[in-house]
Amino acid sequence: MNTDVLIIGGGLAGLSCAKTLQDAGVAYLLLEASEALGGRIRTDHVDGFFLDRGFQVFSTAYPEARRILDYAALKLHPFFPGGMIRFHGKWHRMPDPFRHPLTGLQALFTPIGTLSDKFRVVKLRHRALSGTLNELFTRPENSTLQYLKNFRFSSSMIERFFRPFLGGVFLDSELTTSSRMAEFVLRMFASGDIALPAGGMEAIPRQLASYLPSGRIRTHTRVTSVQKTSVTLESGESLAARAIVVATEGPAAAELLPRLNPAPYRRVTCLYYAASEPPFSGPYLLLNGERAGPINNLCVLTQIAPTYTTTNKQLISVSVLNYADLSEEDLATQVRQQLREWFGSQTTDWQFIRAYTINAAQPVQVPPFPNPYSGQTQVQDGVFVCGDFCATGTIDGAIFSGRRAADDLRKWLEA
């Protein structure tokens, strides 16, 4: 097939790049190493459940996603805006006071932070919502932890709420992530819903792929090397084009383009369980505010999106950070013990379904964190790169980086 552009990688960045080129009438061929598109946004069907490969959520406020995705077709199911915090053996509801003012007033007197902390949240929210996104990413920065301390949040508020909440978002329990990313995420949470598509998170790349003709996509096609105007496949075949886009995750991109120096990635383990009854009722994200045990956050996915099962059972997701030194068996044992402490004897009957350990789950985003809206995508003559490590380590960052690479590539082709 004659083509102007070869795109390596069928995740969100590669699909976004392909759609942008297609809309502009530029011929491309997308090459995906695995059996299906989606990259890290994949959903498996196991025993009547939809299992996302790692706990992931979608923000309806993502600006790039709003531009390209059909939200109605995704049939999004929102979480409760806030969370449930585990502290001193009890669960405490922490709502967004702007969406649930009455419940928010009741939360003023919970042991999660001080009364002053609750009012500082209003100030923090206003800061995150002010200015443009471009301006947000040029503000003075420090770590998220120092940023929260600068707002004079108490150690109680930081340890019991922000550390499990933002630590779960960034897979960074030490909160070393840039304050710019903290403000970006807080803006997204304040501006829209956090939700799950009815068909699992893979519905997002699947929708992008539906806009592309199948003849422009090749799966089971692993690229082993990249030259200026050609690539070599694992099969030994060589494909030529006027330009190349590397749209893989950071470690794979560095193997193909040694001059790249992408940030390392953080890892996470997600364990899934099936239960006859939910341990609680409602579309809540549960956060471990006690800083004991392996569990960082938990949710009953079928309480948010009942479509995640075709059975009459409940699907429970548990996320674990910083337990790389344990075997999967030992980790599962510790998780099971903590679940029993939280929910009692009912957990004895919970059926373990599957565990996913994602070693390259999210790029490290520590200071100095560059403005993702001003980066360069061309790494050498005719070779471009995109992915979440090129923008923000989010679904939106991946989609945006793919479009930006396509736009830069088109200008290069026309020059």
Are the beta carbons of 37 and 203 closer than 8 angstroms? no
Are the beta carbons of 174 and 322 closer than 8 angstroms? no
Tokens found for residue 127: 């800061």
Task: Summarize pLDDT for 128-156 with one digit per residue, the tens.
Answer: 999 999 999 999 999 999 999 999 999 99
Average pLDDT over residues 53-62: 98
Q: What is the mean pLDDT of the chain?
A: 95
- Spell out the residues 6+ positions from residue 260 whose beta carbon is closer than 8 angstroms to its own: 250, 253, 254, 379, 385
Task: Summarize pLDDT for 217-270 with one digit per residue, the tens.
Answer: 999 999 999 998 999 999 999 999 999 999 999 999 999 999 898 999 999 999
Task: Tell me how far the alpha carbon of residue 278 is from its chain's centroid.
Answer: 25
Average pLDDT over residues 186-210: 97
Q: What b-and-e string marks burial along 2-30, b requiring 16 or more CB atoms within 10 Å of the CB?
A: ebbbbbbbbbbbbbbbbbbbbeeebebbb
pLDDT band, very low/low/confident/very high, at 1 (cuts 50, 70, 90): low
The type of residue at 352 is F
Average pLDDT over residues 90-115: 75
pLDDT band, very low/low/confident/very high, at 109 (cuts 50, 70, 90): low
Residue with tokens 């928010």: 104
Q: Which residue has the higher pLDDT, 398 or 291?
A: 398
Domains of the chain: 5-41+203-263+375-414 (3.50.50.60), 43-77+196-200+265-363 (3.90.660.20), 80-192 (no CATH)
| pLDDT confidence of residue 131 | 97
The angle that helices 395-414 and 12-23 make with each other, rounded to 10 degrees, is 40
Whole-number Cα distances in Å, 165 to 112, 173, 291, 327, 337? 13, 9, 12, 25, 22
| pLDDT confidence of residue 102 | 54
Are the beta carbons of 392 and 90 closer than 8 angstroms? no
Alpha helices, DSSP H, located in 137-196: 144-150, 155-157, 163-170, 179-191
63 preceded by cis ω (within 30°)?
A: no
CA neighbor of 248 nearest in space, from 388, 391, 65, 405: 388
Task: Decide if pLDDT at 28 tops 60.
Answer: yes
| pLDDT confidence of residue 105 | 52
pLDDT band, very low/low/confident/very high, at 103 (cuts 50, 70, 90): low
Q: What is the phi/psi pair of residue 259, to 5°?
A: -75, -15
Task: Tell me how far the alpha carbon of residue 55 is from its chain's centroid.
Answer: 8
pLDDT band, very low/low/confident/very high, at 276 (cuts 50, 70, 90): very high
Please give the Cα distance from 151 to 134 (Å, whole number): 22
Question: CA torsion 213→214→219→221, rounded to 10°?
Answer: -70
Average pLDDT over residues 367-374: 94
| pLDDT confidence of residue 82 | 87
Q: Which residue has the higher pLDDT, 234 or 95?
A: 234
Please give the Cα distance from 179 to 147 (Å, whole number): 6
The type of residue at 159 is E
Please give the Cα distance from 257 to 33 (Å, whole number): 17
Q: Give the single-character DSSP code of 309.
A: B
Please give the Cα distance from 378 to 405 (Å, whole number): 8
Average pLDDT over residues 286-294: 96
Task: Decide if pLDDT at 398 tops 90.
Answer: yes
Residue with tokens 């560059």: 370
The angle that helices 163-170 and 179-191 make with each other, rounded to 10 degrees, is 100
